[in-house]
Amino acid sequence: MRLSDYLDKGASLGGDAPCFTTDGETLSYREVQALSIRIAGALRASGVQPGDTVAILSSNDPIAFATVFGISRAGAVWSPINPRSEASEDRELLDRFDCSVLVYQSAYTDLVAAILPDLPKIHTVVCIDGPSADDVSPGVSFDEWMTGPGVVSAESVRGDPVGDLAMIVGTGGTTGRPKGVMLTTRNLETMTSIVLMSYPFEGRPVYLALAPLTHAAGVLCFPILARGGEIVIMRRPDTHEFPALVEKHEVTHAFLPPTLLYMLLAEPTLDTRDLTSLQCFWYGAAPMSTARLAEALARIGPVMAQLFGQTEAPMMISTMSPSEHFRPDGSLATERLSSAGRAAPLVTVAVMDDDGALLAPGDRGEIVIRSSLVMAGYYGDAAATADAGRHGWHHTGDLGYVDADGFVFIVDRAKDIIITGGFNVYSAEVEQAIMKFPGIRDCAVIGLPDEKWGEAVNAVVQVDAAAAVDLDALRIFVRGDLGGVKAPKHFEVWADLPRSKVGKVLKAEIKATLLAR
């Protein structure tokens, strides 16, 4: 299925049904279909051919997301560019992915004006919410572009993609220079199938999209559309407004990364809102505190749903449905709350050592997978593609193990292991212990050079706004939980932790800051 086929499938279930709702205004399926067809015609009139790459630089916006389906109808390839990235990174990605058209939001006019002179491959620039081309906004306005000469009719826009490529998306950049992940229509069909098989869906879903549509929140829209559901789009992250929108729109499905989920749990209005419409509240994209997860299950309801994936294998390497958070007797399954769930129905998960041998249950190594979920490769980077697929398995870069019941446990990123006094310390395990302490909002554990131990375990913590955390008490608490080897030798408090565009803590930045002192 092309991306536009998900929209068309939803429209076949009711063209007048609500498709996108933003700021109280709703576009029906029929309206979004018609808009995407006109966009496809405008792309063709602009010289876009099947297989060309079209970039969208925008925050959450219904017109920008409708443009995704127009790109698909024209047979082109969608490349989401995150507006929270640095200008240099955006420029690099637009050039490296051979983008020929850039569709952007006026809020990023200055950014676009600054990077366009260095992007000779881009021949068409469109502002989705700005005036006609003038001294301020580069390119043309959306309305001018859509009504320009040569815009073709719906019937003539039946371009098929070159090959199976649906989108090129940059990796998060937490481990260095971002790469371009090539996702095919088959990858996204696999992801959609896993979602619909693994999680509860009753009736027409209503999905609340707060997190960036350029990442997990965006691809989760495809299964919603396939069921004729409504997508309520929040233009910007606002955890204060989130519970009110769940109540108002009777939201059934939502997704938040842990950082935003922690902020939601801190909202004083959370317990006053009616959240009973929720069927499935996904969390993922970063490690989740088991203490905060237990709190979410108690306060939001027995609807929390784990997902584990990565850009290269979108979203659904392993899953844990709401019911799997509980034992058969209804008690909380505390023994598996720190897991990433079981391998998804269409995914094989294994654990591999450095020599390519698969390990037994319980043994620790790198998590590897086989699935039609796995990307086609990195755009223009054959060496990185080959490295990721060595020994015939896709390498996730995550270290962990699979227990006897098939639950996947991630203990660390390979690059984040701390070797202190000859012992391996997994930062994720230490972070889980720290997050149990009252008043801790988030934390990061890293290793720093140490003459005695080789590396010393260090922790940087972010505390809740109203909390006054005693670091000596925290140190004693963690030492009692983990022992002297794993417990951090040093703690310090930061007002906030540096994060990637999707909320992952940037440990490399933290380490660089501490080393520079």
Query: Over 303-345, what HEC string results?
Result: CEEEEEEECCEEEEEEEECHHHHECCCCCECHHHCCCCCEECC
Q: What would the pLDDT profile of 196-211 be if each residue is shown by its tens digit?
A: 999 999 999 999 999 8
Same domain, yes or no, for 257 and 382?
yes
- Residue 426 has a pLDDT of 82
Q: Find the range with the poorest average confidence among 286-300, 366-380, 408-422.
A: 408-422
- Residue 8 has a pLDDT of 96
- Residue 454 has a pLDDT of 78
Same domain, yes or no, for 316 and 221?
yes
Counted domains in the chain: 3
Q: What would the pLDDT profile of 103-157 be if each residue is shown by its tens digit?
A: 999 999 988 998 998 899 999 999 998 764 455 668 899 999 998 766 655 455 5
Q: What would the pLDDT profile of 162-191 be if each residue is shown by its tens digit?
A: 568 999 998 865 445 678 999 999 999 999
Rounded to the nearest 10 degrees, the angle between the axes of helix 290-299 and helix 427-435 is 50
Domain boundary among 393, 413, 433: 413
Same domain, yes or no, for 303 and 437?
no
- Residue 132 has a pLDDT of 45
Which of 35-39, 256-260, 413-417, 421-425: highest mean pLDDT?
A: 35-39
Residue listed under structure tokens 């660390």: 412
Same domain, yes or no, for 282 and 429?
no
The verdict on residue 177 lying in a domain is no
Same domain, yes or no, for 254 and 308?
yes
Same domain, yes or no, for 251 and 108?
no
First to last CA, the chain: 53
The verdict on residue 168 lying in a domain is no
- Residue 158 has a pLDDT of 55
Contact predicate 279/250, CB 8 Å? no
Which of 119-123, 367-371, 397-401, 494-498: highest mean pLDDT?
A: 367-371
- Residue 153 has a pLDDT of 55
Nearest to 427 by CA among 406, 408, 412: 412
The verdict on residue 304 lying in a domain is yes
What is the average pLDDT score of the chain? 90
- Residue 250 has a pLDDT of 98
- Residue 390 has a pLDDT of 95
Q: What would the pLDDT profile of 436-477 be if each residue is shown by its tens digit?
A: 999 998 999 999 988 777 789 999 999 987 778 899 999 999
- pLDDT band of residue 16 (cuts 50, 70, 90) is very high
Task: Answer yes or no: is pLDDT of 17 > 80.
Answer: yes
Task: Answer yes or no: is pLDDT of 294 > 80.
Answer: yes
- Residue 157 has a pLDDT of 52
| Residue spans of alpha helices (H) in 250-289 | 258-265
Same domain, yes or no, for 380 and 421?
no
Task: Check which CATH number belongs to the domain holding 460 and give it.
Answer: 3.30.300.30
For a pLDDT cut of 70, what percent of the chain falls above it? 94
The verdict on residue 57 lying in a domain is yes
The verdict on residue 174 lying in a domain is no
**Mean pLDDT of the region 327-356:** 96
The verdict on residue 384 lying in a domain is yes
Same domain, yes or no, for 250 and 332?
yes
Structural domain that includes position 265: 186-413
Task: Check which CATH number belongs to the domain holding 21 and give it.
Answer: 3.40.50.980
Q: Find the range with the poorest average confidence among 162-176, 262-276, 318-332.
A: 162-176
Structure tokens at 424: 């391996």
- Residue 152 has a pLDDT of 56
Same domain, yes or no, for 409 and 465?
no
The verdict on residue 169 lying in a domain is no
Please write down the long-range contacts of 11-20, taking CB distance under 8 Å and 24 or more positions apart. 11/228, 13/204, 13/227, 13/228, 14/228, 17/204, 17/228, 17/230, 18/230, 19/225, 19/230, 19/231, 20/62, 20/65, 20/66, 20/230, 20/231, 20/233
- Residue 172 has a pLDDT of 60
Same domain, yes or no, for 290 and 377?
yes
Task: Answer yes or no: is pLDDT of 371 > 50.
Answer: yes
Domain boundary among 369, 394, 413: 413
Q: Find the range with the poorest average confidence among 50-54, 82-86, 184-188, 439-443.
A: 82-86
- Residue 417 has a pLDDT of 82
Same domain, yes or no, for 109 and 211?
no
**Mean pLDDT of the region 238-253:** 96
